């Protein structure tokens, strides 16, 4: 009996020992023979490769770990190595040490002696799995690209570009290649150009502006960016006319502060603050914020021209303040602030009817801080008009207005001290002098004549 019990115990021991050894071995084999391919995330923003392109690459393998990555570019049947990297292993059993990583693929066709044209990017990533005779699971992908290292060619079709400080201009040019964007660079301000106005889709038109504080030393050039990121720069023959702007003094009274300041809400400022301190915050910080909001409407411009002929001004009105007036604000005889007035103030009788200066689309109509109730019309191709301090707004966003059609009525909303219309003109992202746009002769000499000349030559 004892001998049988000893044999039974021995068998059980062997079985237990066998299980202790076998189960971990099975688990290791199952884990190390896993069949999931590495994961690859290729951040592609374009199918074009210019003179230099960096492509972010994220690779991972959570189970077996990364073994190696190879990246090639194939052009005309020849492979060029872009990236070769091998990753370390912890040991034979535990596999790769690196589970995920981020890399960059730098492609410089000229250094690689690659000509322009179609090319194929190949990416191969393997892991430390024991599959395929310990060669691991393999991820493979191909991505087609077009190599383009030559910038687009720009030819300027308009000859003269006379522009005043605070004024507007028009450039028409031709690009014989499909591009990403183009336009006129004035100092550091970019004014986009659009095709579609002329029959030839290669002809672009760009309205641009010179800010009131930019002088005759400001550089003006045309830039064109193709889809591969190549940039063409072309000089624009121009003449900048200097202009002197008026200086004005505005006296702020306690009565005005008591009347106007309760309308405005300023962050971190309550009613216990001194009214003049609140005025300074309104006139500086809020003015900047409100101006930016109005200028942002230029991004909504239509790629077509709605307007025709000179723009209308408020009927039977007198000018109360001009464009780019340099204003000094005084309180109790002391200068407390300085700002620039970027529009023209027009006054008639109280609650005068305000009409659309030209045909356009309403892109904005709401209360805008210091500007009060404001309407912005888009006239197309980056030309917009603004109407502020209104007592009421009679239009809605998206509404198409004819020249002379009613918008609302003049008022004293915002930081207005009396009933009037603050009228402004915008070119894309810059306030410009409205006087030019009221002038039939200026429009003919600087805009319509240029357009007609190009049409004749199409």
Q: Are 372 and 282 in contact (CB under 8 A)?
A: no
- DSSP letters spanning 213-270: T--TT--EEEEEEETT--EEEEE---EEEP----EEEEEEPHHHHHHHGGG---TT--
d(CA 171, CA 165): 17
Predicted confidence pLDDT, tens digits, the chain (458 residues): 555 555 565 666 565 555 555 545 554 555 567 889 999 998 888 899 999 999 999 999 999 999 999 999 999 999 999 999 999 998 877 888 999 999 999 999 999 999 999 999 999 999 999 888 878 899 999 999 999 999 999 999 998 899 999 999 999 999 988 899 999 999 999 999 999 999 999 999 999 999 999 999 999 999 999 999 999 999 999 999 999 999 999 999 999 999 999 989 877 655 556 899 999 999 999 999 999 999 999 999 999 999 999 999 999 999 999 999 999 999 999 999 999 999 999 999 999 999 999 999 999 999 999 999 999 999 999 999 999 999 999 999 999 999 999 999 999 999 999 999 999 999 999 999 999 999 999 999 999 999 999 999 88
d(CA 47, CA 227): 8
Q: Are 72 and 122 in contact (CB under 8 A)?
A: yes
pTM for the whole thing? 0.84
Q: For the chain, what are the domain ranges? A: 39-147, 154-242, 247-427
Q: Which CATH superfamily is domain 39-147 in?
A: Immunoglobulins (2.60.40.10)
Do 39-147 and 154-242 share a fold?
yes
- Coil vs helix vs strand at 275: helix
CATH number, domain 247-427, options 3.90.230.10, 3.40.50.1400, 1.10.3470.10, 2.70.70.10 = 2.70.70.10
Q: What are phi and psi of 457, to 5 degrees?
A: -95, -5
Q: Which CATH superfamily is domain 154-242 in?
A: Immunoglobulins (2.60.40.10)
Residue 11's pLDDT is what?
63
């Amino acid at each position: 009996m004892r001998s049988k019990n000893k044999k039974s115990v021995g068998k059980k021991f062997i079985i237990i020992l066998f299980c202790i050894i076998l189960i971990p071995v099975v688990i290791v084999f199952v884990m190390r023979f896993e069949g999931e391919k590495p994961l690859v995330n290729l951040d592609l923003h374009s199918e074009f490769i210019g003179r230099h392109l960096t492509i972010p690459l994220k690779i991972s393998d959570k189970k077996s770990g990364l073994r190696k990555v190879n990246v090639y570019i194939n052009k005309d049947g020849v492979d060029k190595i872009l990236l070769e990297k091998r990753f370390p292993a912890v040991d034979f059993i535990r596999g790769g040490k690196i589970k995920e990583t981020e890399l960059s693929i730098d492609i410089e066709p000229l250094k690689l002696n690659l000509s322009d044209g179609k090319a194929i990017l190949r990416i191969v990533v393997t892991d430390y799995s024991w599959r395929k005779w310990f060669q691991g699971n393999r991820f493979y992908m191909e991505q087609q690209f077009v190599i383009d290292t030559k910038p687009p060619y720009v030819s300027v079709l308009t000859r003269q570009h006379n522009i005043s400080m605070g004024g507007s201009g028009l450039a028409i040019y031709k690009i014989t290649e499909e591009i990403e964007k183009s336009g006129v660079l004035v100092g550091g301000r970019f004014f986009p150009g659009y095709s579609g106005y002329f029959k030839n889709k290669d002809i672009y038109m760009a309205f641009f502006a010179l800010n009131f504080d930019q002088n005759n030393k400001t550089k003006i050039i045309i830039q064109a960016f193709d889809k591969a990121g190549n940039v063409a720069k072309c000089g624009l023959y121009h003449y900048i006319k200097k202009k002197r702007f008026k200086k004005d003094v505005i006296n702020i009274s306690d009565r005005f502060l008591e009347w106007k300041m309760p309308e405005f809400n300023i962050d971190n400022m309550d009613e216990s603050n001194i009214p003049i301190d609140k005025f300074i915050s309104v006139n500086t910080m809020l003015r900047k914020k409100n101006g930016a909001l109005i200028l942002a409407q230029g991004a909504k411009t239509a790629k077509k021209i709605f307007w025709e002929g000179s723009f209308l001004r408020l009927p039977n009105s007198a000018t109360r303040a001009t464009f780019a007036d340099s204003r000094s604000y005084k309180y109790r005889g002391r200068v407390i602030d300085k700002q620039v007035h970027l529009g023209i103030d027009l006054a008639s009788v109280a609650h005068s009817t305000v009409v659309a200066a030209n045909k356009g689309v309403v892109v904005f109509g709401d209360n805008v801080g210091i500007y009060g109730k404001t309407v912005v019309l888009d006239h197309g191709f980056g030309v917009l008009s603004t109407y502020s301090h209104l007592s009421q707004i009679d239009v809605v966003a998206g509404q198409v207005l004819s020249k002379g059609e009613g918008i609302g009525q003049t008022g004293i909303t915002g930081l207005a001290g009396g009933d009037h219309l603050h009228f402004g003109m915008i070119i894309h992202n810059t306030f410009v002098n409205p006087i030019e746009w009221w002038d039939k002769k200026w429009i003919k000499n600087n805009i319509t004549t240029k357009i007609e000349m190009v049409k004749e030559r199409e």
